[in-house]
């Protein structure tokens, strides 16, 4: 099983789009094919974004269904404590906690639609890959 970090933008994309790579990544996490890792900071970010109702105006899932999917996803995630901060590292400070989680969890990849900021990190972690959802699916 591959340990990975599912960035918030991938989870939101999985909710909004009925098909596509993001939804398949989340599906595989729910099926136990991938091990998604979570931290308190990423959990809080997910909750914050899920509370932005205007973001889900065209979502095929209603608020209750989105919450159920979120709870199911959290139930299969591995909670990871972060003891060391690697800041400042990324151009967007808001992304640093995702990188720190990946390092703490010894994840194989961060799955994100925001590859540009992650690949421009000041510190390099050669074993950590930054992949778009479609790239992950193609490789696994």
* DSSP states along 119-136: HT-SS--TT-EEE-HHHH
Break the chain into its structural domains and give their ranges. 2-139
Asked if the model's pLDDT at residue 115 lies above 90, the reply is no
In this predicted structure, what is the pLDDT of residue 58? 87
What gap in Å lies between CA 37 and CA 70, rounded to an integer?
14
In this predicted structure, what is the pLDDT of residue 101? 96
What are residue 4's DSSP bridge partners? 36, 109
Average pLDDT, the chain: 92
CATH superfamily of this structure's domain 2-139: 5'-nuclease (3.40.50.1010)
- Joined together, the tokens standing for residue 127 give 């074993």
- Are 80 and 39 in contact by the 8 Å Cβ rule? The answer is yes
Asked if the model's pLDDT at residue 19 lies above 80, the reply is yes
- Joined together, the tokens standing for residue 85 give 């901060």
Instruction: Give ∠ CA 14-20-26 in degrees, rounded to 5.
Output: 40
Per-residue pLDDT of 39-76, as tens digits, reads 999 999 999 999 998 999 889 999 999 999 999 999 99
In this predicted structure, what is the pLDDT of residue 104? 95
Instruction: Give ∠ CA 35-133-103 in degrees, rounded to 5.
Output: 50
């Amino acid at each position: 099983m591959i340990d990975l970090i599912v960035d918030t933008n991938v989870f939101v994309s999985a909710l909004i789009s009925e098909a596509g790579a993001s939804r398949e990544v989340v599906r595989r996490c729910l099926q136990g094919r991938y091990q998604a890792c979570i931290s308190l900071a990423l959990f809080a970010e997910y909750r914050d974004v899920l509370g932005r109702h205007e973001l889900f105006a065209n979502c095929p899932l209603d608020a209750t269904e989105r919450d159920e999917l979120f709870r199911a996803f959290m139930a299969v995630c591995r909670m990871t404590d972060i003891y060391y901060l690697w800041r400042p590292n990324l151009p967007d400070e808001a992304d640093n906690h995702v990188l720190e989680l990946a390092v703490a969890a010894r994840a194989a990849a961060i799955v994100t639609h925001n590859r540009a900021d992650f690949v421009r990190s000041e510190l390099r972690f050669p074993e950590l890959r930054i992949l778009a959802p479609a790239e992950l699916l193609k490789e696994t």
